[in-house]
Amino acid sequence: MIVQLIVTGISLGVVYGLIGMGMVLIFRAVGIVNFAQGDFLMLGAFICFALNQKMGMPIWFSFAITAVLIGLSGIVFQFVTYWPLRNAQDKTIIVSTLGASIALREMTKLIWGSTPQTIDPLKKGVVRIGGAILQWQYVLIIIFAAILMGLVYFLLEKTLLGNIMQATAQDKYAASLMGIPIVVAIGLTFFISMLITGAGGVMLAPIFFITNTMGVMAGVKAFAAVVIGGFGSVQGAIIGGLLIGLVEVFAGTFVSTTYKDTVVFAVLIISLLIRPQGIFGEKIAEKA
Assess contact for 218 and 17: CB atoms under 8 A.
Answer: no
Report the site for another protein in 30-49 (rule: CB under 8 A).
33, 35
Residue 80 interacts with another protein (CB under 8 A): yes or no? yes
Residue 230's φ and ψ, nearest 5 degrees, are: 115, 115
Coil/strand/helix, residue 50: helix
Nearest in space to 245 (alpha carbons), one of 195, 203, 194: 203
Nearest in space to 234 (alpha carbons), one of 143, 141, 153: 153
Residue 106 interacts with another protein (CB under 8 A): yes or no? yes
Number of amino acids touching another protein (CB under 8 A)? 46
Count Cα atoms within 13 angstroms, Cβ side, for 70: 33
Residue 26 interacts with another protein (CB under 8 A): yes or no? no
Residue 266 interacts with another protein (CB under 8 A): yes or no? yes
Which residue in 40, 223, 245, 251 binds another protein (CB under 8 A)? 223
Which residue in 131, 177, 273, 283 binds another protein (CB under 8 A)? 273
> How far, in Å, are 72, 148, 217, 230, 272 from residue 43 at the CA level?
12, 19, 14, 27, 30
Assess contact for 222 and 39: CB atoms under 8 A.
Answer: no
How does strand 132-135 pair with strand 126-129?
antiparallel
CA angle 107, 191, 75 (to 5 degrees): 55
Residue 210's φ and ψ, nearest 5 degrees, are: -90, 115
Q: Which is nearer to another protein, 175 or 186 (CB)?
A: 186
Residue 103 interacts with another protein (CB under 8 A): yes or no? yes
Assess contact for 224 and 244: CB atoms under 8 A.
Answer: yes
Residue 276 interacts with another protein (CB under 8 A): yes or no? yes
Instruction: Give the interface segment with another protein, choosing from 98-106, 126-134, 180-188, 194-202 (CB under 8 A).
Output: 98-106
Residue 282 interacts with another protein (CB under 8 A): yes or no? no
Report the site for another protein in 139-198 (rule: CB under 8 A).
none
Q: Which is nearer to another protein, 93 or 119 (CB)?
A: 93
Which residue in 2, 55, 173, 286 binds another protein (CB under 8 A)? 286
Residue 94 interacts with another protein (CB under 8 A): yes or no? yes
User: Contact positions toward another protein, by CB under 8 A?
Assistant: 33, 35, 80-81, 84-85, 88-89, 91-96, 98-107, 109-110, 216, 220, 223-224, 227, 231, 256, 258-259, 261-262, 265-266, 268-269, 272-273, 276, 284, 286
